[in-house]
Structure 1
Amino acid sequence: MPVFLSIVMPAYNEEAVIEDVVVLWTNLLTAHFPTETTRLIVVNDGSKDKTGAILDQIAPKYPQLMVVHQPNGGHGNAVVNAYRQAIALDSMYVFQTDSDDQFVTADFDKLWAKRAESPFILGHREVRFDAPARLIITRILRLSIALIYGTYIKDSNIPFRLIRGSYLKRLLAQLPTPTPFAPNIFLAVMAKKAGNNLFDIPITHKERLTGEVSILRWKLLKVCIQSFRELAQFRLDLGKKVAALRQPEPVLN
């Protein structure tokens, strides 16, 4: 049976908050879609703490919860794996968020309300609670995208996005291999260049109260340089990638 909506999230070392986040999003699924088949797909990216064990322990309590364990491959790898799991379930809609409890479920409605107007909808963190270095890198990447691709996206890597399942399948087919460090940027760029209105809907971003940021200081600079190189290389293939995406998507209710 096809799944109406899959919420997907990567998880890494979030033992202090993972159960709370699962409760929040499964409650949303139950409240909003009581008669539909829905899933919350959590990909445990080789966590070194008790995240994986907690997910396995609570899974029987939450019928919508689907737990996937993988060796540590990084956030982007886990996101793509989660997307592919959702596509394998023939999900009509796929919503991606993070497991660190920095977003509020109420903002889901803002994106959901636009689902008939675009197959790819982004939020953007109007006020962002992240380390100063991360904020600087975000601005650099935003300018890089504008320079390389001639397009402006407020928050291209945001883990708060709603994508029509059929369109996500087409996007993933155009994603470069091996998986880039920040695949969500590539998906957003392709969707925007293919002519979609991403809406860039302002959403709430909360201060991180648990866990730890895995990429800081020089490692952050290193991955920023890596992402810039990947984006520049992808520019050579963007034209044919976008051409494959320009066929109109069917309008869904």
Structure 2
Amino acid sequence: MQEKNNDHNLKPFVSIILPCYNEEAILQTSVNNIIKYLESKSHKYRWEILIIDDGSKDKTGEMADEFNSQYDNIRVIHHPVNLNLGRALQTGFRHAKGDIFIVLDIDLSYSIEYIEQMADKLSETYSDIVIASPYMKGGQVIAVPFLRKIMSLWVNKFMRLAAQDKYHTYTGMVRAYRKSFIQTLNLKTKDYEINPEILYKAMILRARIVEIPAHLDWTEQNKYKGKRTSSIRILRGFFSGIMSAFIFRPYIFFLALGTLLMILSMYELIWLLYDTLSTLSQSHGLGSTFSSSLALQFKKNPQSFMVGGITFIAAIQVLSLGFLSLQSKRYFEELFHLGTSFKKI
């Protein structure tokens, strides 16, 4: 009997975190499917399900409580009001008891089979984070509305361009986390931006992050069109994603814009210098000087002087902001690293 208990305790303990807001249409079916799957893997994992009811206005909370009353390893935490995804995930990270945390979307647009794949990959590769990525080679996006698909794809490409460490999916929520790592992160974001925030701060700490190819399939979700009120607004998600990209390396945007403005100003000013020197070389009067030729050019093309001068000043200002943001970023990363080290003690 003692040996059996020891074997049980040696199994990885997996916590499934399910943030929910107004999901009465799909909650019961999705949770039942997750339970059935986890029970089939009980020889391999110990498990719990943690449902975060984020201030739902429908029957989501009541339905979740019914699961809690039926299963000892299903727990429910209720937010009194809607605090958004960021706060829901932070609540889940604080209260989950497992060694491995796996965050799923309640609509199961990523197959529940990724629970095992992500948990195994986390253990096999000694990773801190495993990302289910539909945008890497081998991944696929199925039945997602065209506009949403294109916006999501290009937001992630933009983040890949901005980030120092290159991955394919920065905005996806479906991930596995090592408890000892994720609980040390000091997270601040309240909404969808928490997913890139986690990756950004993980990069600062030199965490090991791995992606696995995944299929994002909205076939079932599309059946509930009009019955769910929790879906992300497309434009809001797009612009929040674009803004989130700046957290990775904000200075490159200032430096890129400053360099472009400098090239434009140099083009204008060099042509003015060329015309001035040409006018000077063609003048044979004793009174011809560089300053008089420059004055003549200003009289002929005052707009060129204005555009070139203003663009040059703007370039210097933007480049200065770039170097200041680089310095600020380094200060922040050092302080964050130091703060995280103290939190672990």
Name the amino acid aligned to 2:159. I
Offset from partner CA, 1:148-170 (integer Å, 9 cap, x none)? 33232211222221111101112
The more displaced of 237-246 and 71-80 is 237-246
1:168 and 2:182 equivalent? yes
TM-aligned CA distance change 1:119 to 1:135, over 3 Å: same
Q: 1:220 to 1:95 in 2, by over 3 A?
A: closer
The CA deviation string for residues 93-148 of structure 1, in whole angstroms up to 9 with x for no partner, is 11111111212111222212222311211111222243333333323432443343
1:121 corresponds to: 130
Secondary structure in structure 2 of the residue aligned to 1:47: coil
Q: Which residue of 2 aligns with 1:77?
A: 87
Greater RCO, CA 8 A, separation 6+: 1
Q: After superposing the two structures, state which structure 1 stretch, 224-233 or 59-68, moved more.
A: 224-233
Give the alignment partner of residue 202 of structure 1, picking from 203, 213, 222: 213
What is the TM-score when the length of structure 2 is the normalising length?
0.60
CA contact (8 A) 1:137 1:224 kept: no
Task: Please give the per-residue CA displacement for 1:28-69, whole angstroms capped at 9, x wherever unaligned.
Answer: 333323586531001011122221121122322222211111
Tell me what 1:112 maps to.
119
Residues in 1 aligned to 2:31 and 2:201: alpha-carbon distance in whole angstroms: 30
* TM-aligned CA distance change 1:202 to 1:214, over 3 Å: same
Distance 1:154 1:43 in 2: 28
Q: Do structure 1's residue 58 and structure 2's residue 67 form an aligned pair?
A: yes
What is aligned with 1:136? 150
Kindly provide the CA deviation profile for residues 191-212 of structure 1, in whole angstroms up to 9, marking residues without a partner as x.
3454444331112222123224
User: Are residues 1:214 and 2:225 paired?
Assistant: no
Q: Number of aligned pairs?
A: 240
Correspondence for 1:249? none
Q: Which segment drifts farther, 223-232 or 135-144?
A: 223-232
Structure 1 residue runs of 5 or longer lacking an equivalent are 247-253
| Cα distance in 2 between the residues matched to 1:245 and 1:147 | 27
TM, length-normalised to structure 1? 0.80
Measure, in 2, the Cα distance between the counterparts of 1:178 and 1:163: 18
Aligned counterparts of 1:245 and 1:73: Cα–Cα separation in 2: 25
Corresponding letter in the other structure for 1:109: E
d(CA) in 2 for partners of 1:229, 1:192: 14
The structure whose Rg is larger is 2
Conserved 8 A contact 2:26-2:107: yes
Cα drift, residue 221 of structure 1? 4.4
Partners of 1:229 and 1:199 lie apart in 2 by 22
Change (3 A) 1:37 1:200: closer
**CA–CA distance in structure 1, aligned partners of residues 214 and 69 of structure 2:** 32
Contact 2:19 2:89 in 1 (8 A): yes
> Helix, strand or coil for the counterpart of 1:21?
helix
Cα distance in 2, alignment partners of residues 29 and 217 from structure 1? 33
State the identity %. 20
Distance of 2:177 and 2:238 partners within structure 1: 29
| Counterpart amino acid of residue 78 in structure 1 | A
> Which stretches of structure 1, 4 residues or more, deviate above 6 A after TM superposition?
243-246
Give distance in 2, aligned partners of 1:204 and 1:178.
Answer: 27
Q: Identify the match of residue 336 of structure 2 among 231, 237, 241.
A: 241
Q: How far off its partner does 1:243 sit?
A: 6.8
Structure with the largest fraction of helix = 2
Q: 1:26 Cα deviation (Å)?
A: 2.2
8 Å contact from structure 2 (residues 152, 238) kept in 1: no
Counterpart in the other structure of 1:150:
164
Per the alignment, residue 202 of structure 2 pairs with: 191
**Range 225-234 or range 195-204, more displaced:** 225-234
Q: Distance in 2 between matches of 1:144 and 1:36?
A: 37
Q: CA RMSD in A?
A: 3.1
Mapped to 1, the partners of 2:28 and 2:59 lie a distance apart of 11
For structure 2, which runs of at least 5 residues remain unmatched after alignment?
1-8, 251-324
Structure 1 residues 142 and 242: alpha-carbon distance in aligned structure 2, compared to 1, 3 A threshold: farther
Contact 1:156–1:189 (CA<8 Å) still a contact in 2?
no
Alpha-carbon deviation of 1:74? 1.4
